[in-house]
Amino acid sequence: KHYEEVRSVEVLKIQNAARNSTEWFENVARYADLEPEQFAYSLLTRSQRISHENLRLRDPAWLEGFERWIAEHAGEATAPGARPALPMLTPFKVRGVRLKNRILVSPMAMYSCVEGVPGDFHLVHLGARAMGGAGLVMVEMTCVSPDGRITPGCPGLWNDEQRQAFTRIVDFVHGNSDARIGVQLGHAGRKGSTQLGWQKIDHPLAEGNWPLISASALPYIEGVSQTPRAMTRADMDEVRDNFVAAARRAEQAGFDWLELHCAHGYLLSSFISPLTNQREDDYGGSLENRLRFPLEVFRAVRAVWPENKPMSVRISASDWVEGGITADDAVEIARHFKAAGADMIDCSSGQVSKEEKPVYGRMFQTPFADRVRNEAGIPTIAVGAIFEADHANGIIASGRADLCALARPHLADASWTLREAARVGYRDVTWPSQYFAGKRQLETNFERAAAMAQLDIK
């Protein structure tokens, strides 16, 4: 039995690699517009079993030449004789905002605000990750109204006290790092009025609940969750205007980037998925109808968000449930948001239905970002089980996505980007002046560990 359990993992890895490789060849037209150099890299890494660092071991000269090509195309010139930047450390420009690298601290609910006001925890949490090397730090879903919160601990931007608190955080990030900072605006919809994440997650508050609204009157967990009220046109007008007001405050607070949360079963997502939208009016039925209200909100927000600042949209690219949103739908959804003016699509998945059956694994959601980027023709953010530099470098270098969002790795290590660069032997990374003494020590520790590993092999 033990043998079978151990072998089963390896069998699954081989099966997954075979599936990835087969899909690449069956959809090779998807990559026809890649430059020859990037097409070759995509071909070599199609199974995801051969990684960026595997290629370095096999042909270091070829990979260095390709890294130099990637850096040049990103506008990062490499001095003669110098090592080119790792793909994940190349810059990326959207509208008037230039990110120093491709690593993004994913928006993660911290449940640590009081009346929607971020305090010292968020200053330290976000500030540390900005100083830790990421190019873009995203604030967790920030709610546009009190009844739009997931929990009582969620942040908001429905009043000026919250705006002032966020201004303090944004100013710290801008004053103490070269990272950019963005905010994700959202409304919890039918998944609101619940306990904190470390209590009974997704379960209603024991007291003090607020009424919920959604696309349709369907509870998230049958027999457990509150049942929302199906939104009226008047509700839609109010919610849209709340998003607009929150976006104005986000601009006043100095945020560099805004993301609209249309994923994970929250309010705007509840319109998009046929699992949660059973309306029989102009906002239900076809995909075009189900997108009508989310696109209305997007356009209204984009109209007040500064022209020189990017706006992305997070979607659930698959519901992982029969009859729900599929990857094919995700491509169409992305095309609609692109036409409305979206700059990027943040490709997450699931959390729409408790009946979901996701297929987990390394970088398990990256294929969604790949399809959206290379079929809908819009830059994407890959997210989900990306936890090594090897993962991020491969995703960026192959053209599967343009940015990589990491969540849990940044909870475990605020300086993930700096540490991973040191781990793979890349030294040309700027550290905060206060922490520079730690840079050389970390690099030395990794050098010694690598040397010892080579001795063990011999």
Catalytic residues: 266
118: its two tokens: 């971020």
405: its two tokens: 């969002």
> Nearest-CA neighbor of 38 among 18, 80, 17, 67?
67
> Nearest-CA neighbor of 99 among 246, 304, 252, 309?
309
Residue with tokens 């008047």: 234
| Amino acid of residue 370 | D
167: its two tokens: 């201004």
Rounded alpha-carbon distances, angstroms, from residue 183 to 167, 174, 261, 390: 12, 14, 10, 27
Whole-angstrom distance, CA of residue 138 vs CA of residue 271: 24
Count CA atoms within 13 Å of residue 360 on its CB side: 4
Rounded alpha-carbon distances, angstroms, from residue 288 to 279, 317, 331: 13, 16, 13
| Amino acid of residue 146 | P
Whole-angstrom distance, CA of residue 141 vs CA of residue 130: 18
Task: Tell me the three state secondary structure of residue 416.
Answer: helix
25: its two tokens: 């060849």
- As beta bridge partners, residue 230 has 214
> Nearest-CA neighbor of 89 among 427, 344, 453?
427
92: its two tokens: 């990326």
Looking at residue 20, the DSSP 8-state letter turns out to be: H
